[in-house]
Amino acid sequence: MKLTCTARIIWGMPRLAIALFLHAAGQCDVKADNTNSTTSFFADNAYGRGGMGPWISPCGQHFNNVTYLTYQGPAEGAYIAAYNHTSKVWKGPVKVLDNPMGGVNPEVHPTKCESGSCVDNHGAPHIAISDDGYINVFGGGHGGCDHAIEGTVWGDNIYGQGCKFRKQFPNDPSHIGIQRHARSLKPEDIFQWEKIELDVSGLMPHASYGANLISGGDIYTVVRGGSHTADWIYQKSTDGGKTFGEPVRIFKYENTKKRLFVAWYVRCFVGNEQATKKKDRIGCFATWHNHQTGRDQEGSTLHGPDRRNIYYIEIETSTGNFYNIHNKQLKSPITFEEANSHALVYESYESANNGTFVEPYDARFNKHGDPEVLIHQYINPFNGWVGPRKTKNFVYTAFNSNTSAWYIPIPIYEEDFDPGVTNLGLFDKTKDKDVSAVMVRGSSSVDYFDGSRSSIDTGSIPSFTKNNEKSFEGEFTRWTDIRNPHKEGRLMVLDSLNGTENLEEYYMGIHLYGDDGFVERNSNESSGLWKKCWEATTDDECFVGCPMNEKLLKVVLNSVFNVDVLIFKIFEKQDGKWDQILEKKPGELPFSYETCLSASGDFQFKLKARRSNEIDDSTSFGEYKLIWGGDMLVEKEYPVPKEGQVKEKFRFGQVPSSPSLPSPSSTSMAPSFQGDCSQNGNSRFLYVVKENTGKKIWKTCNHLTGWTKKRKENVCRRDYGNGSEAKFMCRTTCGTCPSVA
């Protein structure tokens, strides 16, 4: 019997219990045979770091009571999953974009590691959902070398110096990543995507540290426009991500002397619509990077460890004008001189001389519309390229509109960390407050600090108090933020997994974390995803991504008891005839297979099975599932008699429609589902247990007409308990089931 992972964390859970949970469930690599077992992660195939918060942001977005999560998966591609907070159903993950910086795995694609970095990570995806529900996923960008985009309208990169890194490591995939973009074909649908060609959309291919903002319905992408020596730019889309305007420089890089540059790291954010001011402003905090090129005395590539000072500017969305905190209009783009003269928030020169550097980790407008920033203080004993930044502390500052000055930075922790790890910090964005709460990942815990103002003789200053009820023990590798987070999903958390050597070295589990702890998922859906891609030899064998006008069909075959599936086939009706388009011999069960089929086709699935062993005279049982475009078409258990073989078949797609059923009378439990109860597909069937005999049979929605309310409630509650979202939506849309808990 294998280990079952079913624990759950809640705010206020004892630390010891949480520590035990993280050991037994959060990092659990073995699953129970019981199909009801769950894991704390929703997928186990995050590749490398999986995400690059805080610079690549946001990796998730809550929209219409669904949380959509993007992450870097196998081959460093962009993947997406979704959790419905109403139905409690997970969908995905689905591969959205390829990434030129990643192969399927290092053994099959051994072009990695020339520079010492086996996984690039900088091409991790970020997400923007338009007001009308279309999902935009961006990713794949790290520099964007010119040779990788020859033949496009972009040509040479006028915003940066391009590909000097590639001259040192010509066979290394790092820094060749161009920005890529895909858009969902339908609102709120993660299964059908259209790759947006950059020549058509106008989105710039040279990009690193991709982020996006949404303000007034417009989408802004904010990127470093190339490799290390490049300007930071933004582009604006007014049509939900279909097209983007010309790049606009925000901060300009400068060559100050031979092999020495002023470069930037920038964190932008949008106005608070609930505040009384600056609703039409984009705020940007920045730090300048003392970037070095060439090699040191030991022959290592230079990069420069230090990021110095904190600066702040604002962009007026209606005019595009730049301002400082005192509303003085600034020249555009922001140069080093302009920043030091008019945009300086915190000068860290003295601490930099002592080896302490700073960078803006998270930023937002508080409930009054005043900007606030969480600053990461760190040391780096190396040259910034080969050594990680080691956290010293996090400090907070905000603009005090009463005094027209910035607060002196306030430490979050009373004592500095013992340097040894790079920690993470974010604001809690679920509430708009005077002083935002802060979440910090320590060396072995996640600490939650409530923000408030403390009265003193000269006025009031922000202060932070640790909230032990919301803090918990746990070692997380990385976490990323979510736009407009639901209380059940504040963060996407990534953590290492225990298991095989390949699993532990390359992959991580991905969790959705909120007020009730981790949002669990059935282990059959969340586990073993990494292995499929590790064993693949081509990208096509690793999470097929379907092109436009096609949908992904997933065939799942199980032996409930003593059954072998000999073969299954798929036929498509063309010109009045059934043509075979697929034939597979599954071999050992359980078995799953994925392929893309035309969204407008008419198909038939056929299966042939027999008993595995002649044990006795009892009937054997097999099971098959067909999932198409994320919808469960059929989930059927079929008998296999002692003698002979059994044949099963199922028709789906554009089959002839049946006479219309009565109009829906209630849609109370599925307001977002636009169902058609007259369709002749299994999405309109209800799975019930026939009374007296107990035999399972399929019934259509209108069979419940005339049943008593109590009988309907019993059937609906029992059926919904098995997690079948398609059947749940059918019966609520058809008006046959009352609302039940």
- Residue 85: inside a domain: no
The pLDDT, as a whole number, for residue 708 is: 59
Compute the distance between CA of residue 28 and CA of residue 521 in angstroms, rounded to an integer: 13
Residue-number span of the structural domain to which 701 is assigned: 667-741
Same-domain status, 396 and 454: yes
Residue 639 domain-assigned (yes or no): yes
Give which of 567, 736, 559 is closest to 649, Cα–Cα.
Answer: 567
- Residues 458, 364 within the same domain: yes
Task: Kindly state whether residues 571 and 447 are assigned to the same domain.
Answer: no
Q: State what percent of residues in the chain have pLDDT above 90.
A: 32
For residues 23 and 539, the model is more confident at: 539
Q: Decide if pLDDT at 595 tops 90.
A: no
Question: Is 314 within a domain?
Answer: yes
Task: Tell me the mean pLDDT in the region 120-126.
Answer: 83
Does the pLDDT at position 110 exceed 50? Answer: no
Looking at the domain assignment, is residue 741 inside a domain?
yes
Co-location of 671 and 731 in the same domain: yes
Report helix, strand or coil for 165.
Answer: helix
Q: Which has the higher per-residue pLDDT, 677 or 227?
A: 227
Res 501: pLDDT: 67
What torsion do the CA atoms of 377, 380, 381, 387 make, to the nearest 10 degrees? 150
Among the residue ranges 133-147, 235-249, 313-327, the one predicted with the least confidence is 133-147
Between the two ends of the chain, the Cα-to-Cα distance in Å is: 33
Residue 681 has what pLDDT?
Answer: 38
The count of domains in the chain is 3
Positive or negative torsion for Cα 675, 678, 679, 681: positive
- Residue 50: per-residue pLDDT: 56
Q: Which of 369-378, 558-567, 598-607 has the highest mean pLDDT?
A: 369-378
Does 650 lie in the same domain as 686?
Answer: no
**Helices then strands, each counted (H, E), the chain:** 10, 48
Please report, for the domain that includes residue 566, its CATH number: 2.60.60
**H or E element, residue 274:** none
Cα-Cα-Cα-Cα dihedral sign, residues 689, 695, 699, 705: negative
Check pLDDT > 50 for residue 141. yes
**590-620 burial: b if 16+ Cβ within 10 Å, else e:** ebbeeeebebebbbbbbbebbbeeeeeeeeb
pLDDT at res. 676: 37
Q: Is residue 242 part of a domain?
A: no
Shared-domain flag, residues 282 and 399: yes
Residue that is last in its domain, among 459, 475, 491: 475
Based on the fold, state whether residues 380 and 325 are members of the same structural domain.
Answer: yes
Q: For the chain, what's the residue count?
A: 741
Q: According to the model, what pLDDT value does residue 299 have?
A: 55
Beta-carbon contacts of residue 629 (< 8 Å; ≥ 6 apart): 189, 191, 192, 551, 552, 599
Residue 547 CA to residue 598 CA, distance in Å, equals: 9
Residue 300 pLDDT greater than 70, yes or no: no
Give the DSSP letter string of 434-467: SS--EEEE-SSEEEEEEEEEEEETTEEEEEEEE-
Q: Please tell me which residue, 504 or 231, carries the higher pLDDT value.
A: 231
CB 534 within 8 A of CB 563: no
Are residues 354 and 466 located together in one domain of the fold?
yes
Pairing of strands 60-63, 478-486: parallel
Q: Do 563 and 683 fall within a single domain?
A: no
Rank 106-115, 576-585, 703-712 by mean pLDDT and report only the highest: 576-585
518 vs 528: CA distance, rounded Å:
19
Residue 145 covered by a domain: no
**pLDDT confidence of residue 697:** 46
- Decide if pLDDT at 287 tops 90: yes
* pLDDT at position 316: 95
Q: Tell me: pLDDT of 302 over 80.
A: no
Alpha helices by DSSP H, listed for 9-103, are: 15-21
For residue 541, what is the DSSP state?
G
What pLDDT is stored for residue 351 in this prediction? 65
More confident residue, 454 or 405: 405
| Residue 29, pLDDT score | 29
Q: Quick one: average pLDDT of 254-279?
A: 86
Q: Quote the crossing angle between the two packed helices 725-733 and 709-720, to the nearest 10°.
A: 160
Which runs of E-coded beta strand occur in 497-547? Answer: 507-514, 517-518, 521-522
> Which of 17-31, 198-212, 452-466, 709-723 has the least mean pLDDT?
17-31
Q: Do 432 and 351 share a structural domain?
A: yes
Q: How far apart are CA 572 and CA 582, in angstroms?
A: 9
The more confident residue out of 13 and 97 is 97
What confidence score (pLDDT) does residue 160 get?
Answer: 80
Average pLDDT over residues 62-83: 92
Select the more confidently predicted residue: 404 or 655: 404
In a domain, 396, yes or no: yes
Average pLDDT over residues 701-710: 53
Whether pLDDT at 271 is above 60:
yes
CB 99 within 8 A of CB 56: no
| Residue 416 counted as domain residue | yes
The DSSP element (H or E) to which 288 belongs, if any, is strand 281-292
pLDDT digits (tens, 9 = 90+) for 434-454: 899 998 887 677 889 999 987
Where is the domain boundary, 655, 684, 717? 655
Which pLDDT score, from 0 to 100, does residue 58 have?
93
Instruction: Check whether residue 315 and residue 365 sit in a common domain.
Output: yes
Higher-confidence residue of 573 and 21: namely 573
Pairing type for strands 307-316 and 126-129 reads unpaired
CA distance 21 to 128: 33
pLDDT of residue 326: 96
Q: Which of 458, 475, 492 is the last residue of a domain?
A: 475
Residues 326 and 412 in one domain: yes
Beta bridge partners of 104: none
